[in-house]
Copies of this chain bind each other. A is one copy, B any other.
Amino acid sequence: MPQLVDYEDALPEVRAVYDAIKAARGVPDVNNFWKALAVHPPTLSRTWDSLRQVMPPGALDPLVKEMLYLAVSMANGCQYCIASHSAAARAKGMTDAQYGELLAVVGMASETNRLAEAMRVPVDARFEA
């Protein structure tokens, strides 16, 4: 298991990122992902900067972005990310029914993705237009 860096043991540049995360999210402490990433402060800082750019509302609303993040995490089989982004999607209003349908789409896509690759289906000309 990784070393998890708590606020009181963190270097100043790590504390600065923790402070930014806590302020942006209104949480009393950062979650373990960030405490683990603190092993490499440049990656901690770069990852937070990237997320801050990618996740705010834009052409897609925040719940849709969070559900896309969760669906990709499921497809990639990341147990930590499924747990944390399920919580985030719930906090942004995902209902049980929406979660159930998301799960159904992830399952179905995983089956047809494999079937299309298994059969080496050539892309239809009209999809290339």
Write the residues of chain A forming the contact surface with B, with a CB cutoff of 8 angstroms. Answer: 1-2, 4, 31-33, 36-37, 39-40, 42-43, 46-47, 50-51, 53-55, 58-60, 64-65, 67-69, 71-84, 86-87, 95-124, 126-128
Contact = CB atoms under 8 A, between A and B. Distances in A.
A61 to B, nearest CB: 10
Given A2-B121, A79-B123, A119-B2, A50 B59 contact: no
B109 A81 contact: yes
B59 A100 contact: yes
A118 B106 contact: yes
Given A47-B112, A110-B110, A105 B68 contact: yes
27 contacts: A31-B127, A37-B115, A39-B119, A40-B103, A42-B100, A43-B107, A46-B54, A50-B111, A51-B112, A54-B104, A55-B105, A60-B101, A60-B105, A68-B68, A69-B108, A72-B72, A72-B74, A74-B117, A76-B77, A76-B114, A78-B114, A81-B109, A82-B118, A86-B127, A87-B126, A106-B118, A110-B113
